[in-house]
Amino acid sequence: MTRTNLKRQQLSLDFSSPGDHAELIHSGDRHGTVLFWERLADDGKRWIKCRPTENLPAIAEQLRSRADAYFTVNQFAGWREVRLLKSLRAVYVDLDGQQDIDFVLEALLSAQMPAPSLAVFSGRGLHLYWLLRATPGKALPVWQRIQDAILKTLSSIGADPACRDCTRVLRLPGTINSKNGVEARGLMLTGEEWDLHSLADEILGPRKAGRPKASISDFNAAAARAGRRSVLAGSIYGWWHTVYSDLVKITNLEHGNRLPEGSRDRLLFLHAVALSWFAQPDAIESEILSVGRLITNFSDDEILATMAPVISRRHMADKGEKITWDGREVDPRYFFKAATLRDWIGHDIVSRYADQLRALAPAEVIQERKKARDAERDRVAEGRWQDSYTGDGVRGSNEQKRASARLMASQGMTQTKIAVELAVSKMTVSRWLRAV
């Protein structure tokens, strides 16, 4: 049954088909891989990858009535890692030990938050979904702020704080919870599929006039959630998101090359620092392990030891704690200027990939790009001016009016009457006549 057909039926529709559920979450064109996980798989092959061209509902249906079967709510470029995120498909919350859907809906209503699109009774709790239209992975910071806000709202009624990252797997309806033998089932609620920023407006509050849609902010910053500070793209949070993207590019491009030992260590550490500004601590570990295994020969314990100071400071930021630096109270997370980052990574590496980097491109490259943008802006502005004005400072559209003003003046009409007749100011008429 397709998502469209489901929406045509009554909204409070029970369903227990893994295929229907997977199709509902991943409706329309798929942009990445959906991963299924069966914890107790007989053959030991716990993971199944469903690529964009494969039959998602059919693969999901193979897990019907199986024990402890899960799937990724979002889509990835091959594996469930933040750096491989391709498409966001839902915001979700796991309510442990909570089965009273009416009570949950009342709690959301009281908090002035929208009702979920659908719910899944997992056997021991509730999973709530706010369905999204396919949203690019680069919108992760906005998604994460929404996720965190809902989690905070429902924390008093059992929201699982661990279920907050984009790589989460959730239980499929029609499969069995092995802890009590109960079959998970789905319940259609509003069935609404949200645009990410419309959902952000509903949950985080409307954007201020002129605020970019792709605003980026630390999703745990209480001041930002309360609207006490601007969260414009280009802020410190957005900048670190761009730094992280550059670090991922460098890692991917350098994979297979033998980096100097110091460069590998620093690159790994900087990945953790960048992630600490916009990702949850429980998501950072798997990300850094993945990067560390790729570019170093450290053991997992050594990788995590390198990351420990970054995670510690991230936890401090979660709690709203500050540290004193240069006589000021500041965010505890590590911060480095672009020049320092380039020094740490190595100027030879940065220069090698200058045309593919943004925040970490060499300073002279960034300056040249700015000059080119400014020149293009001036060129466009000049073109608009030439289209709008004649050579003597009069809009082309007013040429006829100026000629009429001159004729009226030659016939003895006052400037005031001319201005009224031509619907322009008296000052404009005076300027036109002085130019004769």
* Domain contains 231: no
Least confident of 172-186, 360-374, 392-406: 392-406
* Domain contains 112: yes
Q: Is pLDDT above 90 for 172?
A: yes
What was the pLDDT predicted at 289? Answer: 77
Where does a domain end: 336, 363, 390?
363
Same domain flag for 271 and 171: no
Q: Is pLDDT above 50 for 415?
A: yes
Same domain flag for 286 and 345: yes
Q: Is pLDDT above 80 for 25?
A: yes
Least confident of 132-136, 283-287, 355-359: 283-287
* Domain contains 18: yes
Distance CA 212, CA 314 (A): 27
What was the pLDDT predicted at 225? Answer: 26
Same domain flag for 183 and 241: no
Q: Is pLDDT above 70 for 342?
A: yes
What was the pLDDT predicted at 52? Answer: 92
Same domain flag for 181 and 47: yes
Same domain flag for 243 and 321: yes
Percent of the chain clearing pLDDT 90 (strictly above)? 28
For 83, 126, 303, 313, the CA distances from 308, given in Å and listed in that order, are 20, 33, 9, 9
Of residues 111 and 128, the one with the higher pLDDT is: 128
Please give the average per-residue pLDDT across 216-242, as a whole number.
Answer: 44
Q: Is pLDDT above 50 for 37?
A: yes
Distance CA 201, CA 149 (A): 12
**pLDDT digits 0-9 by tens, 67-109:** 999 999 999 998 998 889 999 999 999 998 888 988 998 889 8
Please give the average per-residue pLDDT across 108-128, as a whole number.
Answer: 91
Please give the average per-residue pLDDT across 233-261, as a whole number.
Answer: 71
Least confident of 74-83, 161-170, 270-279: 270-279
CATH code, domain with 198: 3.30.70.1790
Least confident of 86-100, 247-261, 421-435: 247-261
Of residues 431 and 87, the one with the higher pLDDT is: 87
* Domain contains 357: yes
Q: Residue 414's domain spans which residues?
A: 398-434
Q: Is pLDDT above 80 for 270?
A: yes
What was the pLDDT predicted at 72? Answer: 96
Of residues 436 and 333, the one with the higher pLDDT is: 333
Q: Is pLDDT above 80 for 211?
A: no
What was the pLDDT predicted at 102? Answer: 87
Please give the average per-residue pLDDT across 337-343, as a whole number.
Answer: 90
What was the pLDDT predicted at 222? Answer: 27
Give the count of beta carbons closer than 10 Å to the beta carbon of residue 427. 10
Give the count of beta carbons closer than 10 Å to the beta carbon of residue 347. 10
AA identity, residue 342:
R
Confidence of residue 280 (pLDDT cuts 50, 70, 90): low
Confidence of residue 256 (pLDDT cuts 50, 70, 90): low
Of residues 21 and 378, the one with the higher pLDDT is: 21
Same domain flag for 137 and 179: yes
What was the pLDDT predicted at 185? Answer: 93
Confidence of residue 384 (pLDDT cuts 50, 70, 90): low
The three-state (H, E, C) secondary structure of the chain, written as one string: CCHHHHHHCCCCCEECCHHHHHHHHCCCCCCCEEEEEECCCCCCCCEEEECCCCCHHHHHHCCCCCECEEEECCEECCCCCHHHEEEEEEEEEEEECCCCHHHHHHHHHHCCCCCCCEEEECCCEEEEEEEEEEEEHHHHHHHHHHHHHHHHHCHHHCECCCCCCCCCEEECCCCEECCCCEECEEEECCCCEECHHHHHHHHHCCCCCCCCCCCCCCCCCHHHHCCCCCCCCCCHHHHHHHHHHHHHHHHHHHCCCCCCHHHHHHHHHHHHHHHHCCCCHHHHHHHHHHHHHHHCCCCHHHHHHHHHHHHHHHHHHHCCCCEEECCEEECCCCCCCHHHHHHHHCHHHHHHCHHHCCCCCCHHHHHHHHHHHHHHHHHHHHHHHHHHECCCCCEHHHHHHHHHHHHHHHCCCCHHHHHHHHCCCHHHHHHHHHCC
Same domain flag for 285 and 329: yes
For 74, 217, 295, the CA distances from 81, given in Å and listed in that order, are 10, 21, 16
* Domain contains 324: yes
What was the pLDDT predicted at 281? Answer: 59
* Chain centroid, CA 57 distance in Å: 27
Q: What is the mean pLDDT of the chain?
A: 80
What was the pLDDT predicted at 402? Answer: 81
* Domain contains 412: yes
Confidence of residue 259 (pLDDT cuts 50, 70, 90): low
* Domain contains 276: yes
* Domain contains 345: yes
Same domain flag for 276 and 355: yes
Same domain flag for 162 and 240: no
Please give the average per-residue pLDDT across 394-406, as a whole number.
Answer: 72
User: Domain count of the chain?
Assistant: 3
Same domain flag for 259 and 315: yes
Distance CA 260, CA 171 (A): 43
Same domain flag for 84 and 200: yes
Least confident of 242-246, 282-286, 318-322: 282-286
- State the pTM of this model: 0.53
Same domain flag for 308 and 411: no
